[in-house]
Amino acid sequence: MKIIKKHSYTIAIILITSFWLFYYYLGYPLPHIDDLFFIGAAINVAKNGEFFNPYIIEWAEPVVDRFYVQPPFHSITLAGWLKIFGISTQSLLLFQCFCYFIFSIFTALILKNYGFHPITAICTTICFATWMSIAGLRQDALSMAYLAIGLWLLTKDIKCRYFFGFSFLGFSILSSIVSMVYALPFSIAIVTYNSWRKKNTIKSKYSKYIIQRIYILLTSMVFVFILFLTSINFEFYRFISDIAWHASWRRNSIELSHLINVLTYGYREITDAPLYIFYIFLVCTIVVKRNYWQPKAVLITLTITIALILNLVLYDRTLFENFTFFCWLGVILIISAIPASHRTRITFTIVAIIIFTLNQSWNIINIIGKQTPKTEDSYGQIRQFVQENPHRKYLIDEWGARLIFDYNLPPNTIDWNFSRYYTGIANPQSITEKYSDEVWIISKAKGYSLEGLPDYPRVELFGYTFDSIPSQPDDVIIID
């Protein structure tokens, strides 16, 4: 037992590594509606050296000849990866899983640094995997990897680590702007904690110490900004205009009535609301009995709560993504800060497991009810049609891009999900909207929202049919 306790974090890292390898083996993450939106520019840079996404050029004017509606570092980093490992499903999935692995390992190192039990690192990885399983090939994985590296570097008060730590936080923000609401509170908390500890040992030189850290921060900001300008070919004002346009219609009202409507849609009052209520309860418990809890629990709770509030205010569309994950992180760390012998810890752990099961009920039902159709013959027929008609215009969705073409798409490809000029909806709503010169290659399950498609099988469990969950999403069809 002593050996296990001594090497507990080593064992945890081995388990985490094995977990992500198995995750990759299973083919996760599954296709996501935003896949081609987020990887298209990287594929084009890797193939042609041009920084725009050819698959969404019919969606809006700002994406016709550039891709500045998202921060550039994800596309640039992924393009470098694809240059080395090639453009394929396995390469893209490996990139995502490598980012997951980096996030988990550096998060584990952060937790170890602050005295948390290794089980917190494992639980954090599991919760992160549930978020990533519904995020597809989006930029969140790389952004979170950069975030974890940056925060870990800041945990040691060393000048060079501070420089690279701040730089990696900049890389995180310039991969996904949403990460800013977490990078700022966490980095401020860590740096403040470091400076507070330092103050007791260098009282006479404390002002000099603070000035040095500010210089390091400013230097790293200049360094990241230069890289950023280089990545967008110094078109700063054009970038600001495009990303502001994109952000302008991606925010919702944060009024209480809106949040209630969101949380009561699609059984979310059962699957998601209990988590948020439980987190609020734990925060209130710490506030009321703050003298009982360890100081690190109070600091972590304050930091995460501030970050979550910022997330709601600045970008509430990630309520069931970033926001949910960091709620789980807060729950994990708060419970782990309770003394191990206390019955409250056992009670809260049981409640958390029940809520987690409810929160992941959609994923559980999807995994249990999924069926694998015999599709290889139909896949081959679709490929043959494309080979025989190379000059046709193809509208391809996320399932077709992966399963039929392995992301090596025909020259005249448009992302089906972003094939209509944006007026609130970016994809066709009825098969009658299909133009005569278009060939659609899409999942049959698009019939859930696309009128005119043939019916598709849904998941059935215990005699109940889940209308919103297809049992064969990989059944891809061609519509000429």
Structural element, H or E, at residue 141: helix 140-154
Sign of CA dihedral 164, 168, 174, 179: negative
Mean pLDDT, to the nearest integer, of 74-94? 96
Mean pLDDT, to the nearest integer, of 64-88? 93
**8-state DSSP, 455:** P
Top-confidence residue, 246 or 401: 401
Give 64's contacts (C-beta < 8 A, 6+ positions apart): 52, 57
The helix/strand/coil state of 457 is coil
Give 103's contacts (C-beta < 8 A, 6+ positions apart): 128, 141, 144, 145, 147, 148
The letter for the amino acid at 378 is S
Give 468's contacts (C-beta < 8 A, 6+ positions apart): 266, 448, 458
In 10 A of CB 140, how many CB atoms?
27
DSSP assignment string, 148-210: HHHHHHHTS--HHHHHHHHHHHHHHHTT-GGGHHHHHHHHHHHHHHHHHHHHTT-GGGHHHHH
CB 470 within 8 A of CB 456: yes
How do 393-396 and 413-415 pair as beta strands? parallel
What's the number of CA atoms in the CB half-sphere (13 Å) around residue 344?
12
Residue tagged 């992180």 (tokens): 329
Q: Quick check: 419 pLDDT over 70?
A: yes
Mean pLDDT, to the nearest integer, of 9-17? 91
Separation CA 170–CA 172 (nearest Å): 5
pLDDT band at residue 472 under the 50/70/90 scheme: confident
The letter for the amino acid at 347 is T
Q: Which of 190, 89, 182, 90 is nearest to 144 (CA)?
A: 182
Mean pLDDT, to the nearest integer, of 186-208? 82
Mean pLDDT, to the nearest integer, of 43-65? 89
Tokens matching residue 239: 């970038």
How do 438-443 and 476-479 pair as beta strands? antiparallel
- Please state the length of the chain: 480
Mean pLDDT, to the nearest integer, of 430-439? 87
Between the ranges 133-147, 289-303, 360-374, where is the mean pLDDT highest?
133-147
Please report the pLDDT score of residue 146 as a whole number.
Answer: 97
Please report the pLDDT score of residue 3 as a whole number.
Answer: 63
Top-confidence residue, 140 or 298: 140
- 303-332 in b/e form (b: 16+ CB < 10 A) is bbbbbbebbeeebbebbbbbbbbbbbbbbb
- Please give the C-alpha separations between residue 29 and each of 134, 166, 343, in angstroms, as whole numbers: 7, 29, 38
Give 231's contacts (C-beta < 8 A, 6+ positions apart): 51, 72, 73, 76
- Spans of all domains in the chain: 1-198, 376-479
Please report the pLDDT score of residue 224 as a whole number.
Answer: 96
In 10 A of CB 440, how many CB atoms?
21
Please report the pLDDT score of residue 35 as a whole number.
Answer: 95
Residue tagged 């559980």 (tokens): 364
pLDDT band at residue 423 under the 50/70/90 scheme: low
**8-state DSSP, 466:** E
Residue tagged 């019916």 (tokens): 455
**8-state DSSP, 470:** E
The helix/strand/coil state of 454 is coil
Separation CA 348–CA 249 (nearest Å): 39
Model confidence over 331-379: pLDDT tens digits?
A: 999 998 877 667 888 889 999 999 999 988 888 888 787 777 666 678 8
Separation CA 191–CA 148 (nearest Å): 15
